Structure 1
Amino acid sequence: MNDIQPTSRRRGSGGPPLGVLAIVHAGLFLLALLVGVLLSGPGAAFLSPFAGADAVTAHAHADWAAIRIGAMLQFGSAVPLGIYAATAFARLQRLGVRVPGPAIGFAGGLTASIMLMVSALGSYLLSRPELTSDPHLALAFSYLAFAAGGVGYVVGLGLLIAGIAVPGLILRLFPRWLAWVGLVVAALSELSFLSLAVDPLQFLLPIGRFAGMAWLIAAGFLLPVDRREVRDARGARAEVRS
């Protein structure tokens, strides 16, 4: 009995399941988008601030319920993302990664989580009719939600992915193709900051957002919990080659 308990503790000390956290994060975010479509309709659910102050104000007054519920779900999706970043940092440390990558990833994941919260709060303020009687104020809330949830979130997400993918590639913690895909997604996410001045580059935002979410799910399920799993995986690959 004494031999079983320490083993169980070692196996259970890897923190919350990363893959599940990533699924919850993506699920809540996608649910926020779905609520907007169902309550407002596909054409009016996601009005860009570039539509102008009058259009944004009309949207805020007509679809305040959809905006508010979406903001609530988006805020909730930021919580598992922050937990993911902290758990991934602790797990990489446990796996013996002593380079800046995990710390950079944690900083990026925390940034992405906070930016998502800021974006959600901006949307919540946009849903308050008493605050959006001034079209210019409504437009300011819309731009805040767009910038924080767009560039702010995606750039932070890219750092999180890079902080996991680089040590994953060097130490072969998961398949090399997954690490390279992560590096590509991270690079595109970081380049999205250019869209603050070059509007056509805004197409990088959905690429970084949705590809990044998918990558976090895959990496979350494949990242080893402890060094023994790494040794076992390397031994299995060596047997296959021989």
Structure 2
Amino acid sequence: MTANQDARRGNWGVLTGSLFVVLWFAGTIVQGMSGAGFPRPTDDMATVAGYIRDGADRMGQSAGLQILSAFALLCFAGILAAYLRRTGRGGAAAELVQGAGVASAVTLMVGTAATVALGTTDLVNDDASAQLLYQMSFWLAGPIHIAALGAMMLAAAYGLAIPAWLRISGMVIGAIGVVAAASPIVSTLVVATPIGRFAGFLWIIVLTVLLAVRRAPAAAPTVEQPAQV
């Protein structure tokens, strides 16, 4: 099999990015089916504990889907970084795509694990513990996760050979996502989280479909070293 055929086959792996988005939405929809409204991070301890108790029956299913989405994101980051390296446009961009993608996936996993702990243990009956774990879940799976995802999108938009409109939009959306990291310092910047998340999801879907269906550029040529005598 030629190098071009290998690259062509490898393109379909980037659809794990779209899988990440689909699984995340599925988990959110399942949790929303409980009928319990998502509390704000500023809500009091009793409100947060009540939300967890009301939605406990769906929380395990939702968390399972969210964790699967994090694994899909982890795979996507590795595949996208490998694609960048294979086409000779990698460098620092490929390393940042992989590193930021891993950070984004890990924060989503840990944030979701905090939610699982709430829904499957007696901690939910203690308002202070419920508030602590919910705050962990909110910040790790929210602003911090999105900030890392934004950094991954910035690096990908910079390093990939994609249309100008997709590159520019990716860098803008990625920058908005990175701003979410400052939410604990400037509370009004928390608005960057939903913007970076949902606009980022749309960008990832468009990018992955584009990379999956188009012919991959040939791998960068390597220089053979002279044989040692």
Could you tell me how far 1:151 is from its partner in structure 2?
Answer: 1.4
Cα distance in 2 for partners of 1:221, 1:12 equals 13
Amino acid paired to 2:195: I
Matched AA of 2:124: T
Aligned match of 2:83: 91
Question: How far apart are residue 14 of structure 1 and its match?
Answer: 2.1
Deviation at 1:130, TM superposition (A): 1.2
Structure 1 position 73, deviation (Å) = 1.1
Unaligned runs of 5+ in 2: 221-229
The superposition leaves residues 122-154 of structure 1 with CA deviations (integer Å, 9 ceiling, x where unpaired) of: 110111241222211110110010000111210
Distance 1:8 1:96, change over 3 A: closer
Report if aligned partners of 2:11, 2:216 keep a CA contact under 8 Å in 1.
Answer: no
Question: Aligned pairs, how many?
Answer: 218
**Displacement after TM superposition at 1:16 (Å):** 4.6
From 71, 82, 85, the equivalent of 1:79 is: 71
Query: Distance between the aligned counterparts of 1:84 and 1:148, measured in 2?
Result: 20
Letter in structure 2 aligned against 1:145 = S
Structure 1 residue 196, shift from structure 2 partner? 1.0
TM-score by length of 2: 0.88
- Which residue, out of 171, 183, 188, partners 1:195? 183
Q: Say which of 198, 203, 207 aligns to 1:215.
A: 203
State which drifts further: 211-220 or 104-113: 211-220
**What runs of 5+ residues in structure 1 fail to find an aligned partner?**
231-242
Instruction: Note if 1:227 corresponds to 2:227.
Output: no
Counterpart CA distance in 2 for 1:175 and 1:229 is 19
Question: SS of the residue aligned with 2:123?
Answer: coil
- 1:17 corresponding residue in structure 2: 13
In structure 1, the residue matched to 2:31 is 36
Which residue identity lines up with residue 14 of structure 1 in the other structure? G
Using the TM superposition, give the Cα deviation of residue 12 of structure 1 relative to its aligned residue in structure 2, in angstroms.
5.1
Of 134-143 and 54-63, more deviation after overlay is shown by 54-63
* Residue 8 (structure 1) shift: 7.8
1:156-167 mapped onto 2 (5 Å cutoff): 156-167=148-159
Amino acid at match of 2:33: L
Shift of 1:178: 0.3
Alignment equivalent of 2:113, drawn from 117, 121, 124? 121
Equivalent-residue separation in structure 2 for 1:177 and 1:12 (angstroms):
24
Q: CA 1:61–1:10 in structure 2 vs 1: closer, same or farther (change >3 Å)? A: closer
CA separation in 2, counterparts of 1:130 and 1:154?
A: 30
Q: What is aligned with 1:69?
A: 61
Task: Supply the AA of the counterpart residue of 1:23.
Answer: S
Identify if the C-alpha distance between structure 1 residues 199 and 7 changes in structure 2 by more than 3 Å, giving closer, same or farther.
Answer: closer
* Pair 1:146–1:35, CA change in 2 (3 A): same
Partners of 1:161 and 1:98 in 2: how far apart?
14
Asked if the contact 2:81/2:90 (under 8 Å) is kept, the reply is no
How much is the aligned-residue C-alpha RMSD, in angstroms?
2.1
Is the 8 Å Cα contact of residues 144 and 180 (structure 2) preserved in structure 1? no
Q: Distance in 1 between the 2:114 and 2:79 partners? A: 28
Normalising by structure 1, report the TM-score: 0.83
In the alignment, is residue 146 of structure 1 matched against residue 138 of structure 2? yes
* Kept after mapping to 2: 8 A contact 1:14/1:225: no
- Which residue is 1:182 aligned to? 170
